[in-house]
Structure 1
């Protein structure tokens, strides 16, 4: 009989004492058996479209540096200068003495960029979501959340203590059913969704969701982490692209993806920002981000505004890559963005395909549960403005043709 261990006490449920941390080895063994054990990758020192580590130089198709700004000399120079004048760390939370004039200027510029009254910086995008959601909703309130929301939104919902209703992914009709059934009993109502989903690369039906928010007088929180800088005429994200205007709109973004820096932010009315500065625990109790990264983000804002060709060319290249992958028999789901999933299925198969690509010189890690549901493991291709046509050609050659899915697709079309 296999021994199982109590999570809390470390005592065997079948009797006898076991050291308090022995259960961890059992958990790791189970993850290994299910092909879900993650190992820390090699330390990659060069972080551009090329990465280096453990004696390898690989073409990177896993980065969220969508506009290719993370190593841009202009951002590097701004960060270096700020580091020399303000130091490395900030030493305290923003409310004590951690907020510098650079942070204040970045918040002002973010509000201007996003066409809102004010903005608030957080140490990361995760911290923003994990702090904002519980600040907006509590016991007696109702949250309505997409089934494939980012982990930071999920954790924010859990921390809020509000009753959370999960609607089927991108299913506005199901959201409407849940709102009709539960919104009237709640003190306050909050709808929470990513705009661009980080694993599948698909887009939320924002017009329908915004219409439902208006109908039920609900707050609407949109996480634009993967869309800011890439979508919209001005690069403000998918809410801009969809023309979403609503008094109850709260937008969360990150500086660590298209902006090539680090940190998260929230934009909205001044009253909202003042409230979050008092109630969002991940803001109040976190040391402020380094001023050097804020300085780099300030430069990135100018680049996004002045060089729109980065995003237009990126999205055009992504559309072409999706078509070529599909022609080779690979399933890319409902992706409409620079994030392109290659659906595989079993975790072991995703790991094997990732390893094959690594041996060919490409870094494309396997995405497995809990990042995706069981049986839906995939390879997540993340296209950036720095990828050359030759790099994309090489990746496609290394992938080859997915004969099994191609045959299944042909049979489906014939039927």
Structure 2
């Protein structure tokens, strides 16, 4: 006899499977071949990795591996407690101060992931007395935080300053929330225009900078605080490691320390992880050639796609989506790419809107020109298979 929850789980999973929406994990083996994080092994086959957010290839950087080893020797491998007990160390403080130096913000607060940072910020800062507007395509963590907060919120058309302005007219709006680089479309928000609009209406600008920090120009010029009131950065993308931070005013960070349940009741990010993130930040600042290599790879990919008539969105970032629409066809194209040794994410609803299933191709400074050429050639063949 099946118990009610067993029946619920089986029914739900069967429905997802029939719709092509079932999510599964794959245990990969990183291939240390000098190709950064651009290759891995799965079930005995080597794949070129065009699915990773490791935009600068730092997750396999020898200097950062050594930095983590040294940090573990110095601090141990865990923090042992929440930050408000004994889990906050000089390593955390040093990283927070360095992030403030780079961005111009007054204070910083560390979390274990970007998701927890976003939800903690939003559901702690806002309540049912507040009204917030957010870009139509903001991350799920932001939507979850807004729903948990009880705040009233409206969604403006993606990257539309005009749509946002209409929602601000005649209303008292606490904040406008957007991303710097959108994770599924790869396009960039008009942050300067949003900042001017927010100043005009006395509204905070909150920016999820997960996919921009370390990659976009000016990330380390000390002026980010002049463009955004609150900035959320993650360490698992361009920095190649783990964790996240909220950056803002002294008053905001003190408020979160006292009230954010995710911060108060969670074991702190390990000191070793904080020291690694600091080393990654400094490495990123000291090696602008990595960003130049990434830019070259993006340009090459877009040019080769244009030559082979592969339609792309208007993205200049490392995220290059190929919209297919149909879920089954998207999975089929991804499978053909995998057969050619190319691993690309097949993104389906609810991550993206219904009818916009896509291949999410992500480029890295670790990719070689021949890797990119092979990817584009395989993609062209997979898209035109059977025509």
TM-score tier by shorter-chain length is over 0.9
Matched, 1:245 2:226: yes
Partner of 2:159, secondary structure, is coil
Correspondence for 2:335 among 350, 355, 371: 355
Question: Cα–Cα, structure 1 residues 217 and 21, in superposed 2: closer, same or farther, change >3 Å?
Answer: same
Shift of 1:45: 4.2
Question: Cα–Cα, structure 1 residues 404 and 70, in superposed 2: closer, same or farther, change >3 Å?
Answer: closer
Aligned to 1:133: 122
Question: Cα–Cα, structure 1 residues 236 and 192, in superposed 2: closer, same or farther, change >3 Å?
Answer: farther
Question: Cα–Cα, structure 1 residues 337 and 235, in superposed 2: closer, same or farther, change >3 Å?
Answer: farther
Correspondence for 2:240 among 256, 260, 270: 260
CA contact (8 A) 1:138 1:161 kept: yes
Question: Cα–Cα, structure 1 residues 404 and 364, in superposed 2: closer, same or farther, change >3 Å?
Answer: closer
CA contact (8 A) 2:304 2:373 kept: no
TM-score when scaled to structure 1?
0.87
Correspondence for 1:101 among 90, 93, 109: 90
Matched, 1:295 2:280: no
Q: Which has the higher contact order (CA 8 A, sep 6+)?
A: 2
Correspondence for 1:324 among 304, 314, 333: 304
Partner of 1:164, secondary structure, is strand
Aligned to 1:390: 370
Q: How many residues align structurally?
A: 382
Shift of 1:233: 3.4
Query: Which has the higher mean CA deviation after the structures are superposed, 367-376 or 81-90?
Result: 81-90
Aligned to 1:113: 102
Correspondence for 1:194 among 172, 179, 183: 179
TM-score when scaled to structure 2?
0.93
Query: Which has the higher mean CA deviation after the structures are superposed, 219-228 or 42-51?
Result: 42-51
Supply the distance in 2 between the matched residues of 1:311 and 1:153 (Cα, whole angstroms): 28
Shift of 1:57: 1.5
CA contact (8 A) 1:328 1:401 kept: no
Shift of 1:274: 1.3
After TM superposition, the structure 1 = structure 2 runs for residues 191-230 of structure 1, keeping only pairs within 5 Å, are 191-230=176-215
Aligned to 1:10: none
Partner of 1:20, secondary structure, is helix
Q: Which is greater in Rg? A: 1
Matched, 1:72 2:61: yes
Q: Which runs of 5+ in 2 are unaligned?
A: none
Shift of 1:399: 1.3
CA contact (8 A) 1:235 1:304 kept: no
CA contact (8 A) 1:319 1:337 kept: no
Shift of 1:374: 0.9
Q: Which structure 1 residue ranges, 4+ long, deviate > 6 Å from structure 2? A: 402-405
Partner of 1:211, secondary structure, is helix
CA contact (8 A) 2:56 2:365 kept: yes
Matched, 1:370 2:350: yes
Supply the distance in 2 between the matched residues of 1:379 and 1:235 (Cα, whole angstroms): 31
Aligned to 1:171: 160
CA contact (8 A) 2:30 2:39 kept: no
Deviation string 1:235-254 (CA, Å, 9 cap, x unpaired) is: 569x85xxx725x7111100
Shift of 1:402: 7.7
Aligned to 1:12: none
Query: Which has the higher mean CA deviation after the structures are superposed, 46-55 or 127-136?
Result: 46-55
Matched, 1:338 2:325: no
CA contact (8 A) 2:110 2:243 kept: yes
CA contact (8 A) 1:330 1:401 kept: no
Query: Which has the higher mean CA deviation after the structures are superposed, 171-180 or 16-25?
Result: 16-25
Supply the distance in 2 between the matched residues of 1:322 and 1:207 (Cα, whole angstroms): 26
Supply the distance in 1 between the matched residues of 2:6 and 2:161 (Cα, whole angstroms): 45
Matched, 1:269 2:249: yes
Aligned to 2:151: 162
Shift of 1:88: 1.6
CA contact (8 A) 2:310 2:380 kept: no
Supply the distance in 2 between the matched residues of 1:236 and 1:149 (Cα, whole angstroms): 25
Correspondence for 2:71 among 62, 69, 82: 82
Shift of 1:331: 2.1
Shift of 1:299: 1.2
CA RMSD in angstroms comes to 2.2
Supply the distance in 1 between the matched residues of 2:180 and 2:218 (Cα, whole angstroms): 16
Supply the distance in 1 between the matched residues of 2:348 and 2:117 (Cα, whole angstroms): 25
Aligned to 2:14: 29
Supply the distance in 2 between the matched residues of 1:140 and 1:17 (Cα, whole angstroms): 45
